[in-house]
A and B are shown apart, each in its own frame.
Chain A
Amino acid sequence: MTEPVKHRPAPRLQRAPGLLRRRLGGHPGAVAGGLVFALICMAVFPGALLWGGDPAAVDLGNRNAPSGLAHPLGTDHLGRDMLARVLTGGRVSIAVGIAAMLLALGLGTLIGAAAGLSRRLDGPLMRLTDLFLALPLLPLLLVVMMLFRDALAGWLGPQGGVFVLIVGAVGITSWMTTARVVRAEVLALKERDFIRAARAMGVSDMGLVRHHILPNVAAPILVSASLGIASAILTESALSFLGLGFPPDFPTWGRLVSDASVYLLEYPGRVVWPGMAISLTVLSVTWMADALGDALDPRRAAPG
């Protein structure tokens, strides 16, 4: 009997080393997005330490101060330095945003792909998705907090515990869109000729997923990634607003925006700075995701 033909990866994703890097490197979106994101990360991680202001230092004699040397972005209604708060807040927001987004993406892709590929699992998994879509957020989070807060605080300390809890909470409540979209794409892809050909060649299911399906569903997954970061950061602020997030004196961008929203018309800077930080982070991730999408699909014309 002839040996089965050795499976070769489809020409979709070139194994040639550095091709992806080259395609990304020339893409203005990737460069711009990468630069902005790197700048933001540098500002919030080492930058906050360099600036040295204490984000929680209440100074009642210096409330609502305008921008000056000591406080480049002014102070808030309790006299706390806005620049320190925005920089420190960024650490948590970015960490939560990225971690929660990755969790949601991973869960969503897994469930969506499984549902699309396996007819048996499709029904139950989609009903599970529907259930999660229907359940109201606040009671779900209250239950999760109640069940897991102390255990996690015991393992990871109070800060770490709350962080994992929030990432988990945001993650398990935002995977549903990705799952539905990935499933739809997978269902459509399954019937394409090249997939049927690969199956006929004897490619295993895992191989099918890794080399043929995932690169082709990359487009909606990347869209979910960029939307996911924005919604993760904002959901975290909603959680803190409801008392389910970090302690009240712990600044995060979303919390800064919602706390300052009452002062929108008098001290717009308090809303604009953290708001712009959120928007810039989201935009830079979007550009990078778009660039990645272009790079992964050799047929998308890279900008001339």
Chain B
Amino acid sequence: MTPGSGLLGGAGRASVTLLIFAVAIFALMELAPGDPMAQVPLSVPDEVKQEMRRALGLGEPAYVRFGLWLWQLCVIEPLTGLDALLGTQLAGGQSRILSWQARAPVMQIVASHLPQTLWVVGLAYVVGVAIALPLGICQAWRQHSVFDRAGTAVTMLAYSVPPFLSGVVLIAVFSVWLGWLPSIYDTTHRVEDWSDLWVQARQMILPVAVLSIQTTALIARYTRAAVLENLRMDHVRTARSKGLSEASVLARHVLRQSMIPVVTVIALGLPQVFGGAVVTEQIFLVNGLGHLLISSIEANDLPVVRTVTFLMAVLIVLANLAADVTCRLLDPRIGAHD
């Protein structure tokens, strides 16, 4: 099988998968009870609401709307993206996927919510992973020590405290009582010099702290379990008996194998950055993609929900593929003999 045909086959399989995803997402949102007019005040008469529904395109049958959405998603949006990059006119002004609440292109709204999502939620994820890995490894290394037991208690306690509690407590201490840090995230703040960067950092500290608590707990637990599993392997004992120091035993023999489940969990959590941190985004008014998704679900703004969910599905598939590739790199035996 030539690399070319392998790639083509892979692309074909991926397209089929994505098509099935699109159908499933569309079908789910169609089945789910809800009405974009539910948030319209009751003082608006029913006939007006019917007209509004018709203007949004809800008069068409489901398969027509699905086809239109798919066409817009796969053809018009990428063309519009190319137009923006290269200054061409490929999309020809055809109508893009429009949000029902804002009557504006969904991609434009997503793009405006992206920066704060990456700054806050993305950074929190990185911080969480950066703390969790050494924490879990040290816990496993010093199993049954005070550090291990305390670490377990602290991480599980932290995990069972929901973000709306930890967020409120942190705000009460640092914003209200001490007045050191702001409680509202300013999304229009532009970083142009060092003092701007400092302001940006200050407004990020609390939401990043709240978010990374959950991530840290999750990844630390999996890391600890995985490292424990591998610390007592025979080949590790052999290495120790050969006279290698604990540190190099850890680094050379244990870590590679332990990272397999850990990488899997990290990859699983990554796409959640783009849709998962709803409560924290709400408490700090970060207004990222998680908040956009949940408020669109509440308002039954189906184009936004469908499109963002589809994008998340694509991200999840990519993240998991990346995890699989990394696992194979870590342990070349995986998948070698099938």
Q: Which chain B residues lie closer than 8 Å to A180 at the CB level? A: 264-265, 268, 320, 323
Q: Which chain A residues lie closer than 8 Å to B305 at the CB level? A: 136, 139
Q: Are A139 and B297 in contact, with the CB atoms below 8 A?
A: yes
List residues of A (256-304) whose CB comes within 8 Å of B's CBs.
257-258, 261, 264-265, 271, 275, 278-279, 282-283, 286-287, 290, 293, 297, 299-301, 303-304
List residues of B (214-231) whose CB comes within 8 Å of A's CBs.
217-218, 221-222, 225-226, 228-229
Q: Are B221 and A257 in contact, with the CB atoms below 8 A?
A: no
CB distance from A91 to the nearest CB of B (A): 18
Within 8 Å by CB of B334, from A136, A176, A191, A304, lies A191
Q: Which chain A residues lie closer than 8 Å to B159 at the CB level? A: 227, 230, 282
- Complex Cα distance, B217 from A133, in Å, reads 20
CB distance from B319 to the nearest CB of A (A): 9
Q: Are A130 and B260 in contact, with the CB atoms below 8 A?
A: no
Q: Tell me if B205 counts as interface (CB < 8 A to partner A).
A: no
Q: Are B161 and A223 in contact, with the CB atoms below 8 A?
A: no
Q: Are A222 and B28 in contact, with the CB atoms below 8 A?
A: no
Q: Are A181 and B24 in contact, with the CB atoms below 8 A?
A: no
Q: Are B337 and A191 in contact, with the CB atoms below 8 A?
A: yes
Q: Which chain A residues lie closer than 8 Å to B271 at the CB level? A: 133-134
Q: Are A299 and B225 in contact, with the CB atoms below 8 A?
A: no
List residues of B (247-300) whose CB comes within 8 Å of A's CBs.
257, 260-261, 263-265, 268, 271, 275, 293-294, 297-298
Q: Which chain A residues lie closer than 8 Å to B310 at the CB level? A: 134
| Number of chain B residues whose Cβ lies closer than 8 Å to a Cβ of chain A | 67
Q: Tell me if B327 counts as interface (CB < 8 A to partner A).
A: yes
Q: Which chain B residues lie closer than 8 Å to A135 at the CB level? A: 24-25, 28, 309
- Complex Cα distance, B233 from A297, in Å, reads 11
Q: Which chain B residues lie closer than 8 Å to A286 at the CB level? A: 152, 156
Q: Which chain B residues lie closer than 8 Å to A208 at the CB level? A: none
Q: Tell me if B201 counts as interface (CB < 8 A to partner A).
A: no
Q: Are B232 and A187 in contact, with the CB atoms below 8 A?
A: no
- Complex Cα distance, B153 from A287, in Å, reads 9
Q: Tell me if A240 counts as interface (CB < 8 A to partner B).
A: no
Q: Are A230 and B160 in contact, with the CB atoms below 8 A?
A: yes
Q: Are B333 and A130 in contact, with the CB atoms below 8 A?
A: no
Q: Tell me if B165 counts as interface (CB < 8 A to partner A).
A: yes
Q: Which chain A residues lie closer than 8 Å to B327 at the CB level? A: 184, 187-188
Q: Tell me if B313 counts as interface (CB < 8 A to partner A).
A: yes
Q: Which chain A residues lie closer than 8 Å to B17 at the CB level? A: 127
Most B Cβ at <10 Å: residue of A223, A234, A279, A300: A223
Q: Which chain B residues lie closer than 8 Å to A192 at the CB level? A: 333
- Complex Cα distance, B21 from A180, in Å, reads 19
Q: Tell me if B336 counts as interface (CB < 8 A to partner A).
A: yes
| Given known A143-B28, A188-B331, A261-B168, contact A130–B317 (CB-CB < 8 A) | yes
Chain B's closest residue to A142 (CB) is: B32
Within 8 Å by CB of A220, from B164, B226, B335, lies B226
Chain A's closest residue to B165 (CB) is: A261
Q: Which chain B residues lie closer than 8 Å to A6 at the CB level? A: none
| Given known A130-B317, A135-B309, A283-B156, contact A300–B228 (CB-CB < 8 A) | yes
- Complex Cα distance, B34 from A5, in Å, reads 63
Q: Which chain A residues lie closer than 8 Å to B226 at the CB level? A: 219-220
Q: Tell me if A140 counts as interface (CB < 8 A to partner B).
A: yes
Chain B's closest residue to A181 (CB) is: B261
- Complex Cα distance, B160 from A299, in Å, reads 30
Q: Are A133 and B268 in contact, with the CB atoms below 8 A?
A: yes
- Complex Cα distance, B160 from A233, in Å, reads 9
Can you give 19 contacting A-B residue pairs, CB < 8 Å? Answer: A127-B17, A131-B24, A136-B305, A142-B32, A143-B28, A146-B32, A177-B268, A181-B265, A184-B260, A191-B334, A191-B336, A191-B337, A220-B226, A227-B221, A234-B162, A261-B165, A275-B160, A286-B156, A290-B152
List 8 additional A-B contacts (Cβ < 8 Å) besides A180-B268, A190-B334, A261-B165: A129-B320, A133-B268, A146-B32, A177-B268, A227-B217, A234-B162, A258-B162, A286-B152
Query: Which residues of B are in contact with A by a Cβ distance under 8 Å?
Result: 13, 17, 20-21, 24-25, 28-29, 31-34, 143-144, 152-153, 156-157, 159-162, 164-165, 168-169, 172, 217-218, 221-222, 225-226, 228-229, 232-233, 257, 260-261, 263-265, 268, 271, 275, 293-294, 297-298, 305, 309-310, 312-313, 316-317, 320, 323, 327, 331, 333-338
